[in-house]
A and B are shown apart, each in its own frame.
Chain A
Amino acid sequence: MATSDALHDLLYELSDAVPGQIHGSLIASRDGLLITETLSDSEEAERIAAMVATTLGVSRRMARRLGAGVLNETAISATERRIQMYLIGSEGALAVVTAADANVALINIQARKVVKSAEPLLRDTNP
């Protein structure tokens, strides 16, 4: 199975693990190239992938400047949706769009599983 298919499956497993709370997700490279996505608006996915890279890049630097340690995640909370973003190793990024009132703790647990499974797959595509 191609790596991007395997990563795509991980995104589906994620939404199945938290039924009804996830509106879509994507995996991108750290420099903002889209790898795979399940967003409802696929046309936006490439631009969102670049924005995820910017958001995580700036978040990581802010954490470092404030002596806050290593970045775990970045979240955007808006009236209609939440967007949770995570680094995948040194290569990738995961963004998950959820309901505004989603169970964040549960989503964090499931998203970290995706991060763990995706990391070796991404490393293999970028030798």
Chain B
Amino acid sequence: MLPLKVLITGAVGAGKTTLVSTISEIEPLTTDVDSQEAIGKNQTTVGLDYGRMTLKERSVRLFGTPGQERFDYMWQMLGEGVDGMIVLVHAGHDTAETDTEHLLDTLRAKEAADVPFVVGITHSDEAGTHPEALREASFAQRAAAVLTADVRTERDGQALIHALVDAWGIQ
């Protein structure tokens, strides 16, 4: 059986790199460097995150993207041939909804994103966030599932990938 390919995408700081390292069974490959912009954290992904896991006896390859628009060619490159996506959305970002719609539009324009996806709403434990409002967003309506998730935890990371397995209908 061919390995499945999962794209982990979303805006900067949503938790993509964290999720790949949480659920990968191998030591993940990361390409984070120090960020010169103020993005709410010190490091940022310039290339990709790569990890691998096994699900229902199938090998799953995990590819995390950079978040900033200037890396949109990586969204398209990594999005080629994906079987499903996990879209992470930072509950505390004012522009989370439009940023996420734009990212999904860019992927769809390249016909990379016509695949099932689940949405993970992150950082909802932080003060001043509004995770519930994001459930009404149009991308959330198209999602196979919308979960609030702290992707630093194994439990929530597994919940996201299992929601995708349910969407695929793999027994």
Contact = CB atoms under 8 A, between A and B. Distances in A.
Contacts, number: 54
Given A32-B71, A53-B46, A58 B31 contact: yes
Contact of A51 (B30, B34, B68, B73): B73
A54 B29 contact: no
Contacts of B31: 54, 57-58, 60-61
Interface residues of B, number: 18
Given A50-B71, A51-B73, A57 B47 contact: yes
Interface size class of A (residues with CB under 8 A): 20 to 34
A97 interface: no
A8 interface: no
B98 interface: no
Given A32-B71, A47-B70, A61-B29, A54 B35 contact: no
Interface in A59-93: 60-61, 65, 90-91
Q: Which of B30, B37, B71 lies at the interface centre, i.e. has the most chain A CB atoms within 10 A of its CB?
A: B71
Given A46-B70, A61-B47, A53 B33 contact: yes
A32 B34 CA distance: 11
Contacts of A119: none
Contacts of A33: 36-37, 70
Contact of B70 (A50, A58, A60, A61): A50
A65 B29 contact: yes
Contacts of A32: 46, 68, 70-71
Nearest to A51: B73
Contacts of B44: 31
Contacts of B30: 61
Contacts of B82: none
7 contacts: A31-B33, A31-B36, A32-B71, A50-B71, A54-B46, A57-B31, A90-B34
Nearest 6 CB-CB pairs, A to B?
A: A57-B31, A50-B70, A57-B46, A53-B46, A57-B47, A58-B47
Given A30-B36, A33-B37, 16 more contacts: A30-B46, A32-B71, A33-B36, A33-B70, A46-B70, A50-B71, A51-B73, A54-B66, A54-B71, A54-B74, A57-B47, A58-B31, A58-B48, A61-B29, A91-B34, A126-B36
Interface of A: 29-33, 46-47, 49-51, 53-54, 57-58, 60-61, 65, 90-91, 126
